[in-house]
Structure 1
Amino acid sequence: MREFTVVIEQDEDGVYVASVPELPGCHTQAETLDELNRRIKEAIELYLEVEA
């Protein structure tokens, strides 16, 4: 299993934004951290699937 760094920020509206510096263009956003974690995992999986 590969590991990636996930950068999480909160915008001015309170929305959480996650990005993966090692995977350009791989990012997502959500209202809660739980939802954000699910979404970024899915985004990473899809990114790697497309890149394969």
Structure 2
Amino acid sequence: MNNKYTALIKQDADWWLGWIEKIPGVNCQAATHDELVESLRVTLQEALTFYS
């Protein structure tokens, strides 16, 4: 099953911050946008594995 999740991403000074809507605990920060997106993907996958 392919579920879609919404990531909210913003830049704050030198850091990129992001979190996944409706999935508690999936939030990350990184130095670049690409690093943030990858970190969110990994963290989301871990959370989904943990909750299932």
Do they superpose with TM above 0.5?
yes
Q: Report the CA distance between 1:22 and its aligned residue.
A: 1.2
Q: What stretches of structure 1 move > 6 A for 4+ residues in a row?
A: none
Q: Report the CA distance between 1:30 and its aligned residue.
A: 0.5
Q: Distance in 1 between matches of 2:10 and 2:33?
A: 10
Structure 2: gaps (5+ residues): none
| Matching of residue 34 in structure 1 with residue 30 in structure 2 | no
Identity of aligned residues (%): 25
Q: Distance in 2 between matches of 1:37 and 1:19?
A: 10
Number of aligned residue pairs: 51
Q: Distance in 2 between matches of 1:51 and 1:28?
A: 18
Counterpart position of 1:3: 4
User: 1:10-34: CA deviations, max 9, x gaps?
Assistant: 12x3200110111012111100011
Structure 1: gaps (5+ residues): none
Q: Distance in 1 between matches of 2:27 and 2:51?
A: 15
